[in-house]
Chains A and B, each alone.
Chain A
């Protein structure tokens, strides 16, 4: 009975994760029934990751903005375009070294973010207005730089940085020996990750015990270890069947882990939740709320630049329409992932789940060959009801 209630509670706490798993299973079945294979096949999983990398990156930055009080950044799509245009001009047209060009692009992203953050944090112009203006003029700047044309292609060393796979292989088609190598290496990476996770869990529990803090039940820890390890090893196996670990997945892992740690474990991270939860209380607790706000939007500029570079690599071009409406994907991912529209609650992990949900939905429907008009309709409705399910399950938990 106790086990059952623990499971029920976990389900309610992770409503969106359950919804994500539900959607995956649904498509798995639909595709099988229609004789089109499965959703979770090696090539497609790899594809879903590269397709949605930009959403995860942007949603991470957007989450910090939303945490400060439900504030959003409408300009990120346009900034993605500007950064792509600058990187393309520097690398393809001017032949600048790619690392120098990347550094300049990232710095430019920070500068764009700081420019907008200044008006928001210190002049107190509403973020909606500042970034709506940015949405317009950064797109204009992007078009001016590109002169309305597409720059393409990027050199191989740039593409390798953002679109290749680990372990690296020279040819497009793997030789059987190389394929075996890839399988082995990904599996080893998967096992190492599991090992690190398990060791961390055990030592964390031990220190907690030693200091006399509360710990989860032993069974819960084992269950968590088994489930996470199974997922990681399955993912490693899938990726090994294809070409290996996409480089972009490594970039995502660094960003997601870094920002999760920042929001959950650090003092400046805590300041975001305090500001969004109650601005006056935050200020009366000695928190420099303007600085928090400034950081949120400057950081958004930085992550938009990262996304801009990734997108340019993926499409192998800098084009005037790049990043169009990406801001809505990022905002959607945060809200689907449980962030509050009033600020103060939400997690990076939630935003990633939100992004994955949207990604799987898009991919699954295309794979099924659903008509594009239907795709939009279904997507909108599924997003609505997924969030309704999440909100209702949380309400039930309160009672």
Chain B
């Protein structure tokens, strides 16, 4: 198959929203049987392009042509594009938690007749497709009972059920851990051998260079360049340059460490699962963070890192919490989030939309939420003062918004993260626990967030950073703890840690390590 033929051609696509040109004369060619990656910063136009392709934006709402298998296409709905085998899997999984895997896979595509669903056929076909994606679950299992990684695979099986010819995956590994991500990428390579074509949208360049045959870089609604595996080398730096349009000499800002006394110390910390009785989520953990220090906690998803952080933060997670907690040398008992905040602790959640921000409220309300005392007298708010401090943080963190009265829900991921950071910086903490502070935000914003972290420690604060991205942990931290299955399994000073040594300490401590 050296002389591949073009499966899909998008020609001169231009799509405008009131006031914004989302796509500006974009052309894209996808060859039969290739994996084509599309990378770009948030808001570069990747998702808009895919929405045009899959018919979410109907024909006529954009200009330009789409040719698929040599035929001119005019999609009015998603049904039209699915009908000819184009299936898109969105970043946010679209599965119904309380229905079974099989029911989900054939949702909208039911077996049998309109008036009578053939459940036997449904489950038999579903089981077959699940095997194809490497899942051993029964298709009668409910979606809520399987992990996010497996749910992602179910989405792919669902696409296969629709007789997919061109599979589009939008950030499929955003919420997966490394081993699940690898499994998914290998599956894509496997499908490629069987002749399937896929488009992969991703932030993670290592993944992209692992699976892709071609990489198209999109910036500001235009295609910057397309790299071909056979002609070009996929150097991460080149790709990043093309994405952000400037030379990023260093992906993580440099910082001189001035490390002081121990600020936060946790001793023999044990936390039990709130629902499953007797299940230890954190097992006898002892860690410390010094003033002016960034300490990382690395580990796989489900290692208990978030649970550790939240249990420290005013017991907002878990039951039967035992162990000692010292702040600045003094033992403290934080029974509520309020007490934790008053003891100058901050926890910046990994889930900014779900548990960090109030999306329906404007920036200024979100900014002051954790410490409204600072903008009120006797419980009466000074709204003008609130708006002023929100503006100060907006300028300080360079949050892009029309004004601080704008609802947080309308901001991009990176700017939302900045508002979340503003909120906790406003609470005047000495110790900040940052949980996945750069998840789902683009390279430029990541760099800025890292700069803010450096600034915080330069002021003598302590930062405890939880991150699943190894390069980030290695690039930013003075010291790294590795956590696995509820235990601290290794500790590395800066310079001693490598991606390999961290992964090795995780793998060797995993029960049933032979699985990997």
Q: Which chain A residues have a beta carbon within 8 Å of chain B's beta carbons?
A: 208, 211-214, 265-268, 270, 273-274, 277-278, 280-288, 340, 344-345, 399
CB distance from B253 to the nearest CB of A (A): 28
CB distance from B317 to the nearest CB of A (A): 10
Which of B282-290, B293-301, B353-361 participates in binding chain A? Answer: B353-361
* A344 near B358: Cβ-Cβ < 8 Å: yes
Partner of A266, one of B336, B356, B379, B423: B379
* Interface contacts beyond A208-B384, A340-B360: sample of 16 additional A-B pairs, CB < 8 Å, sorted by A: A265-B383, A268-B379, A273-B358, A274-B358, A274-B369, A281-B349, A281-B357, A282-B369, A283-B337, A284-B337, A284-B349, A285-B341, A286-B340, A286-B370, A287-B337, A288-B336
Q: Which chain B residues have a beta carbon within 8 Å of chain A's beta carbons?
A: 18, 313-314, 316, 336-338, 340-341, 347, 349, 354-361, 365, 369-370, 372-373, 376, 379-381, 383-385, 387-388, 423
CB distance from A9 to the nearest CB of B (A): 13
Q: Known contacts A267-B381, A281-B355; is A286 also within 8 Å of B337 by CB?
A: yes
| Chain A to chain B contacts (Cβ below 8 Å), 17 pairs | A213-B388, A267-B380, A267-B381, A270-B372, A270-B381, A274-B361, A274-B365, A278-B355, A280-B355, A281-B349, A281-B358, A281-B369, A283-B337, A284-B347, A284-B356, A286-B337, A287-B369
Give the residue name and chain of the B residue nearest to A212 (CB): B388
* A278 near B381: Cβ-Cβ < 8 Å: no
Chain B residues within an 8 Å CB radius of A277? 358-361
CB distance from B279 to the nearest CB of A (A): 22
* B384 near A213: Cβ-Cβ < 8 Å: yes
* B384 near A265: Cβ-Cβ < 8 Å: no
* A266 near B381: Cβ-Cβ < 8 Å: yes
When chains A and B are docked, how far (Å) is the Cα of A206 from the Cα of B303? 56
Chain B residues within an 8 Å CB radius of A270? 365, 369, 372, 381
Give the residue name and chain of the A residue nearest to B382 (CB): A265
Partner of A267, one of B316, B358, B379: B379
Chain B residues within an 8 Å CB radius of A213? 384, 387-388
* B316 near A283: Cβ-Cβ < 8 Å: yes
* A278 near B359: Cβ-Cβ < 8 Å: yes
When chains A and B are docked, how far (Å) is the Cα of A366 from the Cα of B86? 60
CB distance from B15 to the nearest CB of A (A): 15
Chain B residues within an 8 Å CB radius of A211? 384-385, 388
When chains A and B are docked, how far (Å) is the Cα of A303 from the Cα of B358? 29
Considering residues B316, B357, B361, which has the most beta carbons from chain A within 10 angstroms of its beta carbon?
B361
* A288 near B381: Cβ-Cβ < 8 Å: no
CB distance from B406 to the nearest CB of A (A): 11
When chains A and B are docked, how far (Å) is the Cα of A288 from the Cα of B339? 12
* B355 near A345: Cβ-Cβ < 8 Å: no
CB distance from A344 to the nearest CB of B (A): 5
Partner of A285, one of B370, B373, B384, B388: B370
Q: Known contacts A284-B316, A284-B356, A286-B338; is A267 also within 8 Å of B361 by CB?
A: no
* B361 near A265: Cβ-Cβ < 8 Å: no
Partner of A278, one of B313, B337, B357: B357
Chain B residues within an 8 Å CB radius of A399? 18
Give the residue name and chain of the A residue nearest to B17 (CB): A399
* A265 near B18: Cβ-Cβ < 8 Å: no
Chain A residues within an 8 Å CB radius of B379? 266-268
* B365 near A285: Cβ-Cβ < 8 Å: no
* A273 near B365: Cβ-Cβ < 8 Å: yes
When chains A and B are docked, how far (Å) is the Cα of A267 from the Cα of B369? 9
* B356 near A281: Cβ-Cβ < 8 Å: yes
CB distance from B168 to the nearest CB of A (A): 27
When chains A and B are docked, how far (Å) is the Cα of A24 from the Cα of B369? 40
When chains A and B are docked, how far (Å) is the Cα of A221 from the Cα of B358? 31
* A285 near B337: Cβ-Cβ < 8 Å: yes
Partner of B387, one of A214, A268, A283, A344: A214
CB distance from B143 to the nearest CB of A (A): 21
When chains A and B are docked, how far (Å) is the Cα of A270 from the Cα of B362? 12
When chains A and B are docked, how far (Å) is the Cα of A286 from the Cα of B360? 19
* A267 near B376: Cβ-Cβ < 8 Å: yes
When chains A and B are docked, how far (Å) is the Cα of A399 from the Cα of B347? 35
* B361 near A288: Cβ-Cβ < 8 Å: no
When chains A and B are docked, how far (Å) is the Cα of A164 from the Cα of B381? 37
Chain B residues within an 8 Å CB radius of A286? 314, 336-338, 340-341, 370
Give the residue name and chain of the B residue nearest to A271 (CB): B372
Give the residue name and chain of the A residue nearest to B388 (CB): A213
Chain A residues within an 8 Å CB radius of B347? 284
* A280 near B380: Cβ-Cβ < 8 Å: no
When chains A and B are docked, how far (Å) is the Cα of A212 from the Cα of B354? 36
Give the residue name and chain of the B residue nearest to A213 (CB): B384
When chains A and B are docked, how far (Å) is the Cα of A213 from the Cα of B375? 14
When chains A and B are docked, how far (Å) is the Cα of A285 from the Cα of B376? 16
- In order of increasing CB-CB distance, the 3 nearest A-B pairs are A277-B358, A280-B355, A286-B338
* B355 near A273: Cβ-Cβ < 8 Å: no
When chains A and B are docked, how far (Å) is the Cα of A273 from the Cα of B380? 15
When chains A and B are docked, how far (Å) is the Cα of A353 from the Cα of B313? 43
* B369 near A288: Cβ-Cβ < 8 Å: no
Give the residue name and chain of the B residue nearest to A398 (CB): B410
When chains A and B are docked, how far (Å) is the Cα of A213 from the Cα of B336? 35
When chains A and B are docked, how far (Å) is the Cα of A208 from the Cα of B376? 16
